[in-house]
Amino acid sequence: LGIEVLGTSFNLRAIPGSPSYSLDLIQGKVRLFTFDENPEIRIEQMILLAGESGVYDTETGRLFRSKTTDNNFMSWKTGVLEFVNAPLPEVIKTLNRVYNINIQLASKHDSLRLTARFEGETADQLIESLQTIFQFELLREADQVYFN
């Protein structure tokens, strides 16, 4: 996967072993391209504009474009997490990614939604907030947190 920066600001998620890499563009534009042995010979390419995401599928080698839907993709830098009527499983997924923690949610809570803004909170503070908001039974075991 190659990235050519064309005057921009973006966030790249490329975790080794992940089934895909994604780039969320904040401003400007970026050219994504795939190549075989020689980076000069491009197999596939696309130009992304602000508000778009490009995803590279590591298994197929294909590129995909979509609108950026994750409002929290820059939270690692801004310290702000914002959710508007977000499904709780998506909130948990975001918290697990941003804080590198392992929160598990009982499936009976899958239909719950959250509208909230968190700024500068630690993982423990967010866990406590969710427990208070939803009146969850909280179980901690080793490095996992269970909301029952």
Query: How would residue 9 be classed by pLDDT, with cut points 50, 70 and 90?
Result: confident
**Fold match flag (2-67 vs 75-147):** no
What CA–CA distance (Å, rounded) separates 28 from 5?
9
- Per-residue pLDDT at 43 exceeds 90: no
Q: What is the pTM of this model?
A: 0.67
* CATH class of domain segment(s) 2-67: mainly beta
From the number of C-beta atoms within 10 Å of its C-beta (0-12, 13-18, 19+), residue 108 rates as exposed
Contact 115, 81 (CB under 8 A): no
Least confident of 36-50, 83-97, 112-126: 36-50
Mean pLDDT score of the chain, rounded to an integer?
Answer: 88
Where are the domains positioned within the chain? 2-67, 75-147
Domain 75-147 has CATH 3.55.50.30: yes
Q: What is the pLDDT of residue 12?
A: 84
The angle subtended at Cα 15 by Cα 11 and Cα 18, nearest 5°, is 120
Q: What is the pLDDT of residue 63?
A: 94
